[in-house]
C-alpha cells in the first residue's frame, strides 16, 4: 500500500473566456505527486503549466475537479484559509524573483517569517541557515539591485523555503537567467529537495532541469502526457 501523496490533482478543468472565445487551459488534469519528489512540468507557452501551478497553489480556482495539498482541499478554502495554506504549506518561486527592492537579502528572506509571527531570534537563525543553504551568507545585507539575477533568484528560493513549506511551486525559475546561472539555480533546487525534503513542482522549458527531475509531466493543450524521469526530452519550441 502506497503512502498518501502530498499533492493529489483530480479531473481539474479550467477555462477562460476572452470575449466570445473560450480557452480551455486545463481539461480534466489528474495526477499525484509524492512527498519529497521533484517534478518538472513542461509544455509550450499557453499549454496550461502556469494555470495548473496557480490552481494547485490556490491562486486560481478550478471550474471543476479537486486539488488536495497535504490532505487539504484547496478549492474548499476561503481567503483566510488560502492565506494560511500559502503561509504554512505552499510557497512559490517566480521567474521575475519578486523581491522587495528596499529590503536586504536577509530581510526579504525573513518576510514570510514575519507574517508567521516567528520570534526575532528564531527568525534570524532561520534566515542565516537559508542564506547559507543558497550560498549567499556573505550577501545578507545587500539589496536586490546589488545582486546579480542568479543571486536574486537564490534569495527568492531562500524566501520560499523560509516558512518550511511542504510544497514549492516554481514557475519557470530560470526564465530570466543565462544558461550557466540557470543551471546553478536548478542544482540548488535539486539539492533542496534532497536536503530539506521539500516537494518541488517546477514548470520549465529547460532540458537540464528535466534531467534533474524525478519525474516529468508534459502538458499539451490542457491534457497531461507524462514522461518518465531522466528520459531524453525534446524541448518544446517556445513562441516567446
Partner 1 sequence: MNRWLTRRWPAPHWPSIRGRARADAGPLLLTAAVIAAVALLAGAVPALLRAAADDAVQDAVRRAGNDANVLVHADWERDDGPNGGRIRTAGLADDVEDFRARATYALGADLDAALLPPVAVVSGPILSITEGSVPRTFQFTYLADDRDGPAVTWIAGSAPGSPFPDEPVEAPYDGPPWPVQVGLAETAAAALNLGPGDRLPVKDGQGRDRDVRISGIYRPADSTDSTWRLAPALLGPLPGADGVGITRFAGLLSRESLPDARLAVDQDQLRRTVHFAPEPGALTWDTTAALANQVVALKAASGSSGARDGSLRWESQLDTTLRDARTRGNAASAQAAVLLTGILTVTVLVLLLAAALLVHRRTPALGAARQRGAALPDLAAELTIESTVVSVSAAAVGLALARAVTPGVSWTWAVPVVLAGAVAGPAFGTLAAARASRDRRQPANPAARRWIRVTAQLRRAAVEAAVLIAAVAGFVTLHQRGLLPDAADGDTGELTGDLVLPISALALGGLVGALVLLRLLPLGARFALRQALRSRRPLAVFSAARAATTAGRALPLLVLVSATALASFALILGSTVTRGLADGAWSTVGADARLDLGTDAQAATPALAERVAAAPGVQQVVVAQVTESARVFAESTLFTPRLVVVDAAAFQRLLATTPLPDAPALARLTAPAPTPGDVPALVLSNDSELRTGARLQLPRDDAPAIRLAAVGTAPAVGGAGDVVVVDATALAAAGLPAVANTVWVTGPGAARAVTNSGVAADVVLRADVLRAQRVAPLTAGLLRLAWTAAAVLVTLGLLGLLLAAAAGTSERWHTLVRLRTLGLRPRDARWVAAGELLPPVVVTAGYGPLLGALLARLTLGPLDLRLLTGQPGDPATVLPWWLLGLVGVVLLAVAATVVPVESALRRRDRLSEVLRAGE
- Output the smallest distance, CB 59 to partner 1, in A: 4
Closest CB to partner 1 among residues 24, 229: 24
Closest CB to partner 1 among residues 106, 213: 106
- Output the smallest distance, CB 240 to partner 1, in A: 10
Residue 219's nearest CA partner among 63, 14, 48 is 48
Closest CB to partner 1 among residues 212, 219: 219
Residue 39's nearest CA partner among 19, 27, 26, 53 is 53
- Output the smallest distance, CB 229 to partner 1, in A: 27
Q: Which residues are near partner 1 by CB under 8 A?
A: 50-51, 54, 57, 59-60, 79-80, 83-84, 86-88, 91-92, 94-96, 98, 100-103, 107, 111-112, 114-117, 120, 145-146, 148-149, 159, 163, 176
Task: Give long-range contacts, CB 8 A cutoff, 24+ apart: 50-56.
Answer: 50/171, 50/203, 51/14, 51/25, 51/26, 52/9, 52/12, 52/26, 52/203, 52/219, 53/169, 53/171, 53/201, 53/203, 55/12, 55/14, 55/26, 56/7, 56/9, 56/90, 56/167, 56/169, 56/201
Closest CB to partner 1 among residues 110, 212: 110
- Output the smallest distance, CB 63 to partner 1, in A: 13
What's the CA gap between 129 and 136, in Å, rounded? 10
Q: What backbone phi and psi angles, to 5 degrees, belong to 112?
A: -65, -30
Closest CB to partner 1 among residues 107, 211: 107
- Output the smallest distance, CB 58 to partner 1, in A: 8
Closest CB to partner 1 among residues 64, 115: 115
- Output the smallest distance, CB 2 to partner 1, in A: 30
222: CB partners within 8 A, 6+ apart: 24, 25, 26, 27, 29, 47, 48
Amino acid at each position: 500500500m502506497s503512502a498518501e501523496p502530498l499533492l493529489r490533482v483530480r479531473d481539474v478543468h479550467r477555462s477562460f473566456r476572452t470575449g466570445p472565445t473560450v480557452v480551455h487551459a486545463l481539461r480534466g488534469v489528474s495526477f499525484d505527486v509524492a512527498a519529497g519528489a521533484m517534478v518538472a512540468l513542461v509544455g509550450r507557452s499557453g499549454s496550461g503549466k502556469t494555470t495548473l501551478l496557480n490552481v494547485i497553489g490556490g491562486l486560481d480556482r478550478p471550474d471543476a475537479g479537486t486539488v488536495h495539498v497535504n490532505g487539504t482541499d484547496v478549492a474548499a478554502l476561503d481567503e483566510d484559509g488560502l492565506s494560511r495554506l500559502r503561509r504554512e504549506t505552499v510557497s512559490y518561486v517566480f521567474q521575475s524573483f519578486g523581491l522587495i527592492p528596499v529590503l536586504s537579502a536577509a530581510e526579504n528572506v525573513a518576510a514570510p517569517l514575519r507574517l508567521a509571527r516567528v520570534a526575532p531570534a528564531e527568525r534570524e537563525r532561520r534566515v542565516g541557515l537559508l542564506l547559507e543553504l543558497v550560498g549567499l551568507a556573505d550577501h545578507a545585507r545587500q539589496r536586490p539591485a546589488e545582486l546579480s539575477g542568479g543571486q536574486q533568484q537564490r534569495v527568492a528560493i531562500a524566501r520560499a523555503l523560509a516558512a518550511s513549506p511542504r510544497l514549492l511551486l516554481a514557475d519557470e525559475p530560470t526564465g530570466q537567467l543565462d544558461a550557466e546561472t540557470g543551471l546553478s539555480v536548478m542544482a540548488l533546487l535539486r539539492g533542496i529537495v534532497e536536503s530539506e525534503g521539500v516537494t518541488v513542482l517546477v514548470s520549465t522549458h529547460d532540458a537540464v532541469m528535466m534531467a534533474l527531475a524525478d519525474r516529468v509531466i508534459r502538458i499539451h493543450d490542457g491534457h497531461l502526457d507524462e514522461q518518465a524521469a531522466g528520459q531524453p526530452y525534446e524541448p518544446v519550441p517556445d513562441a516567446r
